[in-house]
Amino acid sequence: MATAWVASVKNTKTLKVFSRLSGKWVNIFSLAITEFNGLSRRYGLGVKLAKAGGDSDANIVMEVAAGEASFKYGGEKATASFGQDAVHGKTSLFAGTDGIEKAVIFLPGDVSDLNTKMMEVIAVHEFIHGCGLSNADHGTDGVFYSPLVKSNGKMIVPQQGKEKRPMPPMFLSPGTVSKIQGLWS
């Protein structure tokens, strides 16, 4: 179920993201922020991403889970580990009574069979979770569909009857757009 950020963050219309990424993911950070911001402008999502200077001023922290990784915030702990050939990440939202206060995005450490564009799709998908959407909010098409699958060096929505348009270029389903707008308007 979609959850709003605390008012002090929501009112800025900006989520600040800090990268602890390593390996092949280092180069994806800026690309994914640019792509997300382009989607936000195109669809009028009402939120943009900006790079944070450090963990303390970041709303979202991104890191690689090579083996098991963990992140602590406010007495809670989020963990992630990925199997070989994972084509997804994991976002944990830390919410208090007034809304989300912090988020962590874990990305898979073993990306030997993923190219830059595929990794960018995975990161943008996780940024959408960072906006406040849960797994129950996954879209019926587009970059926020789950599970996306690899096909000819790109990611596609495998569901029968969908266009199976390869991403990138990325797109959002109308339902995903409505949910994000509802959280950030």
pLDDT of residue 1: 87
Of 75, 83, 29, give the one whose Cα is nearest residue 52: 29
**Spatial separation of the C-alpha atoms in residues 125 and 127, rounded to whole Å:** 5
**Amino acid 160: pLDDT:** 64
Check residue 161 and give its pLDDT: 61
Query: Do the Cβ atoms of 132 and 108 come closer than 8 Å?
Result: no
Residues 6 or more apart whose Cβ sits within 8 Å of residue 114: 24, 87, 122, 150
Residue among 107, 173, 108, 103 at smallest CA distance from 131: 103
- Predicted confidence at residue 162, as pLDDT, reads 67
Query: Running along the chain, 185 residues long, what does each successive block of 10 average in pLDDT?
Result: 96 98 94 98 98 96 94 96 90 97 96 93 98 96 92 84 79 97 96
**Which residue in 134, 126, 86 sits closest to 104, CA to CA?**
126
The CA–CA distances, whole Å, from 43 to 76, 111, 142 equal: 34, 30, 13
pLDDT of res. 15: 98
pTM score, two decimals?
0.96
Q: What is the DSSP string of 70-126?
A: EEEETTEEEEEE--TT----EEEEEEETTEEEEEEEEEES--TT--HHHHHHHHHHH
Domains of the chain as residue ranges with CATH = 7-184 (3.40.390.10)
- For the purposes of burial, counting CB atoms within 10 Å of the CB of 46, is it exposed (0-12), middle (13-18) or buried (19 or more)? middle
